[in-house]
Amino acid sequence: MASEPQCRPALLRLPHATAARPCAGPCWAEQTAARTGDSVIETTSSGIDADHPLLVWGGGAIGGTLAAYWARAGLPVRIVDIAVDHVRACSGSGLHVHGPVDDFVQRVDACTPDALRGRYSRIVLAVKAQATEAAAASLEPHLRKDGFVLSAQNGLNEIALSRILGADRVMGCFVNFGADWHGPGDILYGNRGAVVVGETDGSTRQRTRHMHALLKLFEPGAVLTDNIWGYLWGKLAYGSMLVATALTNESMSENFADPRRFRVFLELGREVMALAEARGVTPMGFDGFRPEAFQAGAPEANARAVIAALAAFNARTSKTHSGVWRDLAVRKRQTEVAGQYGVLLHVARDSGLKIPTLERLLVLIGDIESGRRAQGEATFEALMEVCV
């Protein structure tokens, strides 16, 4: 029941290292099996090439964590990343995944894009939203004609990927676990969270079931859905609130627990829900977030209960701040906010809807990125001004 089509024209008008060793890799066995519960994953299924490893393009917080778990389970995995020092660490001393959920070191074969050789049937894309189009262009020569790319990213990147690679070569994925890249070969896995996979056309294929089984090796509660767009839009609503918390230096939980800030989270949720409704999408809930609480006509008390649940959920993680906050405060680099949420500006214009809170939020994040504003209470108050 996919409501969001693979490739709506209105959504396609988007703004648009040192060489390492060749990464041809070892000759993998004809058949590789990994266990999840009582099931066995056979990588010789139709359309899936067991002669090459599962390729993870982007070895940061999301991709690195997934790759480490898959490699630990015995699957042939290869990371492709632009950071040479991270590549060397992963394929040398190993990738250290640590935190309250788990703590282990796993060597993962890795190389830079220019050193990659061969074509692959399965590529998991885990780069920041703003790097999607460039990554798609780089990986396309390495994607088999009958292969597919699974987008393990935040945002609606499946749309751009479908335009570049073809809709049939793209699979949707939603992730909400908490992780941070701390340095070469070093990833904090702060908390478990929802993981969902599904085809963008709402169908379920052999390849979808295969990737679902692989994702269960990482998160046993991973879900196979016929409404992946619903989960992606649900994450956009929740994610917009996380972006707002990055305007301050307080933790995600502290922001959600502050009653003065409730109105901002309420309006952000309502604006994204209105856009989803305009697209004919039914947003899905996860990890305490219930999108229906922000739909038109829903009692405000329902939204208050959701925000309280989010404060509690985020209080239980060692990842105290959002990835956007970390990009701004620690890594001092551009965030993926414009890449994730710029598409919603197009949806709003096409639908004739006003989204003043989202628009101001994007401006404020841009101001912090450029140095015109600092993270703090005053910047959050500048967002509160439009929520009267």
CA dihedral 247, 253, 255, 261 (to 10 degrees): 140
One domain for residues 122 and 40: yes
Contact (CB, 8 A) for 48 and 210? yes
Q: What does the alpha-carbon distance between residue 158 and residue 7 come to, in Å, rounded to a whole number?
A: 9
Residue 145 tokens read as 């004609």
Q: What does the alpha-carbon distance between residue 320 and residue 179 come to, in Å, rounded to a whole number?
A: 10
One domain for residues 215 and 341: no
Contact (CB, 8 A) for 363 and 386? no
In a domain, 253, yes or no: yes
CATH code of the domain covering residue 43: 3.40.50.720
Task: Note the pLDDT of residue 48.
Answer: 59
One domain for residues 199 and 252: no
Contact (CB, 8 A) for 159 and 346? no
Task: Note the pLDDT of residue 49.
Answer: 54
74-91: pLDDT as tens digits: 999 999 999 999 999 999
Q: What does the alpha-carbon distance between residue 186 and residue 221 come to, in Å, rounded to a whole number?
A: 25
Contact (CB, 8 A) for 342 and 236? no
Q: What does the alpha-carbon distance between residue 60 and residue 95 come to, in Å, rounded to a whole number?
A: 10
Last residue in a domain, options 193, 226, 259: 226
Contact (CB, 8 A) for 121 and 217? no
One domain for residues 186 and 237: no
Total of domains in the chain: 2
Last residue in a domain, options 188, 207, 226: 226
CATH code of the domain covering residue 311: 1.10.1040.10
In a domain, 278, yes or no: yes
3-state secondary structure of 387: coil
**CB neighbourhood size of 205 (10 A):** 14
Contact (CB, 8 A) for 357 and 271? yes
Q: What does the alpha-carbon distance between residue 319 and residue 334 come to, in Å, rounded to a whole number?
A: 20
Last residue in a domain, options 200, 226, 252: 226
In a domain, 1, yes or no: no
One domain for residues 197 and 259: no
Q: Mark out the alpha helices in the chain (DSSP H runs).
A: 61-72, 84-91, 132-139, 157-165, 206-218, 228-245, 252-257, 262-278, 300-315, 323-329, 337-351, 356-370, 377-384
The reported pTM is: 0.87
For the residues of 27-90, what is the DSSP string, one character each?
---S--EEEETTEEEETTSTT--TTSPEEEE--SHHHHHHHHHHHHTT--EEEE-S-HHHHHHH
One domain for residues 141 and 256: no
Query: Which contacts of 371-374 are long-range, i.e. CB under 8 A and separated by 24 or more positions?
Result: none
In a domain, 195, yes or no: yes
pLDDT values of the chain reduced to their tens digit, one per residue, 388 residues: 454 433 232 232 222 222 333 454 332 222 233 433 434 454 444 455 555 799 999 999 999 999 999 999 999 999 999 999 999 999 999 999 999 999 999 999 999 999 999 999 999 999 999 999 999 999 999 999 999 999 999 999 999 999 999 999 999 999 999 999 999 999 999 999 999 999 999 999 999 999 999 999 999 999 999 999 999 999 999 999 999 999 999 999 999 999 999 999 999 999 999 999 999 999 999 999 999 999 999 999 999 999 999 999 999 889 999 999 999 999 999 999 999 999 999 999 999 999 999 999 999 999 999 999 999 999 999 999 999 7
Q: b/e for 307-329, b at 16 or more Cβ within 10 A? A: bebbbebbeebebbbbbbbbbbe
In a domain, 3, yes or no: no
Q: What does the alpha-carbon distance between residue 355 and residue 37 come to, in Å, rounded to a whole number?
A: 45
Q: Which domain holds residue 284?
A: 230-384
Reading phi first (left if > 0) and then psi (alpha if -120 to 50, else beta), residue 131 is in alpha
One domain for residues 18 and 32: yes
Task: Note the pLDDT of residue 317.
Answer: 87
In a domain, 4, yes or no: no
**Distance between alpha carbon 37 and the CA centroid of its chain, in Å?**
26
One domain for residues 202 and 239: no
Half-sphere exposure of 380 (CA within 13 A, CB side): 23
One domain for residues 157 and 299: no
In a domain, 287, yes or no: yes
3-state secondary structure of 312: helix
Task: Note the pLDDT of residue 39.
Answer: 40
One domain for residues 208 and 240: no
In a domain, 2, yes or no: no
One domain for residues 110 and 258: no
> Which amino acid would we find at residue 156?
L
One domain for residues 108 and 16: yes
